[in-house]
Amino acid sequence: MDILRPALININGRIYRRNVIKEDQYEDEEEEEFSYMEESELVDEPCDNHPIEQTDKGYRCAIDVPSILYKYIIGKKGETRRRLEADTKTSIDIPKQGLEGQIVVIGSQKAAVSSAVTRIEVLVESFRRKQPFTHFLSFALSHPQIQEGFLRFKEEVLKNCSKDNGVDESIFQNPAKLHLTVGTLVLLNDMEVTKACEQLQQCEDIIKKITGVGLPLEVTGIEYMNDDPAMVDVLYAKVNAKDGSDKLQQVAEQLVENFVSAGLMVREWDRVKLHGTVMNTLFRKHPSAEDNGGPGKQNRESFDARNILKTFGSYYFGEFSLNTVQLSQRYSTDCTGYYTSASCITFS
């Protein structure tokens, strides 16, 4: 890391500097220390999301933190918590590992409690970003007509392009899982999942104003995600509104903006990149997977998509009316192969 250009984190409109200490803490992870970008070590930061209560002995503030993140606040042998307590002159009470609850900060000065809470917020936000996403917002493409079109596409590609480098049946999407990804979320406990479900329900009226009772879409053409068509990892179908409008993009942008504003999603791009994956090398069943660390840990093997793009570049998968948005759990599927939906809104 360039010490003159440290990584910055934006939390509730405030900017924080992240300083990395090269010291092993959690297996291969590094401990990270954070500081508010002011000369003073102790600042009276307003805790808008975490009200500070006055008590007989001073001040108290309770913070909801998923239990999976406790270890990053405690640190190796409790070192991080002790340093936070010493620096801010507060006492930090953390529930036992595995038990969901609140982290409670107690101090004799309001500014001290505020400073401790701010530092905990930054720690939580940084290490949250290291967690793999658990849920995703999507538009389902598993309409029968689209599934049939996809299966025809798969059959024809395997018939005409199976000899191309890296092309095999295992890298095709499961037709029951066809979807347009809108955004990903890291939801680390039941409370956060419930909050996200409620947030999605609040989006229903916003979406209806854009789409009406449904949005007719057509799935036509394929595209790839990198610069070299001979070395492709992801191939996706293109989806557009039949009337030529940008209503699909508008809905996606409104959803992401709503979830980002609620602190449930991190915006990765200036514009949502909608894509319906039809082929992905992450799906590949490699015969030597066990020798490379097990399934999902082997090196990705790209495939040559030049013939596929030339032959099927304008392939017609079908059309349908989009009328649902789903919040689904990653990897979790029901007996039919569909992703398990945590919440869903319908605008038909």
Number of C-alpha atoms within 13 angstroms, CB side, residue 256? 21
Higher pLDDT, 255 or 346: 255
Output the pLDDT for position 11: 54
Supply the DSSP symbol for 142. -
**Residue in this structure with the two tokens 């090398």, named with its chain if needed:** 281
225 SS3 class: coil
How confident is the model over 43-56, as pLDDT tens digits? 444 555 688 999 99
pLDDT tens string 160-190: 999 999 999 999 999 999 999 999 999 999 9
In the chain, the domains with their CATH numbers are: 7-128 (3.30.1370.10), 135-346 (3.90.1140.10)
- Predicted confidence (pLDDT) per residue in 300-331, tens digit: 899 999 999 999 999 999 999 998 899 999 88
Mean pLDDT of all residues in 259-266: 92
Please state whether beta strands 234-241 and 276-280 pair in parallel, antiparallel, or not at all (unpaired).
Answer: antiparallel
Count of Cβ atoms closer than 10 Å to residue 117 Cβ: 24
pLDDT digits (tens, 9 = 90+) for 275-300: 899 999 999 986 554 444 444 445 78
Residue 19: its pLDDT value, please? 52
Q: What is the pLDDT of residue 269?
A: 84
Whether residue 148 has pLDDT greater than 60 = yes
- The tokens for 200 are 């999605």
What per-residue confidence (pLDDT) applies to 50?
A: 81
For residue 340, give the 3-state DSSP assignment.
strand
Rounded distance, CA 272 to CA 78, Å? Answer: 41
For residue 63, name the pLDDT band (cuts at 50, 70, 90). very high
Cα 97 vs. chain centroid, distance in angstroms? 24
Sheet of strand 234-241: strand arrangement: 276-280, 234-241, 215-224, 316-322
Region 118-124: what's the mean pLDDT? 93
Output phi, psi for 307, to 5 deg. Answer: -70, -35
End-to-end CA distance of the chain: 50
Average of per-residue pLDDT across 110-125: 93
Strand partners, 343: 327
Q: Over 80: is that where the pLDDT of 37 sits? A: no
| Residue 2: count of CB within 10 angstroms of its CB | 6
CB 26 within 8 A of CB 71: yes
Predicted pLDDT at 47: 52
CA distances from 165 to 159, 295, 307, 327 (A): 14, 21, 11, 36
Q: Is the pLDDT of residue 24 over 90?
A: no
Q: Look at phi and psi of residue 193 and say left if phi exceeds 0, alpha if psi is from -120 to 50, else beta.
A: alpha
Calpha distance 304→163 (Å, rounded):
10
Q: Is there a contact between 22 and 83 (Cβ–Cβ < 8 Å)?
A: no
Query: What percentage of the chain has pLDDT greater than the value 90?
Result: 64
Backbone angles phi, psi at 165, to 5 degrees: -55, 125
Average pLDDT of span 84-98: 93
- The CA distances from residue 181 to 53, 136, 272, in Å, are 42, 7, 9
* Tokens at 128, concatenated: 């949250």
Residue 66 confidence (pLDDT) above 60: yes
Bridge partners, residue 322, by sequence: 215
Q: What angle do CA 59, 65, 68 make, to 5 degrees?
A: 140
Do residues 301 and 170 make contact, with C-beta atoms less than 8 angstroms apart?
no
Between vectors from CA 318 to CA 216 and to CA 212, what angle results, nearest 5°? 10
Greatest CA span in the chain, whole angstroms? Answer: 78
pLDDT value at residue 254: 95
Q: Which of 320, 312, 317, 313 is nearest to 348 (CA)?
A: 320
| Crossing angle (nearest 10°) for helices 204-211 and 247-261 | 160
| 21, pLDDT greater than 60 | no
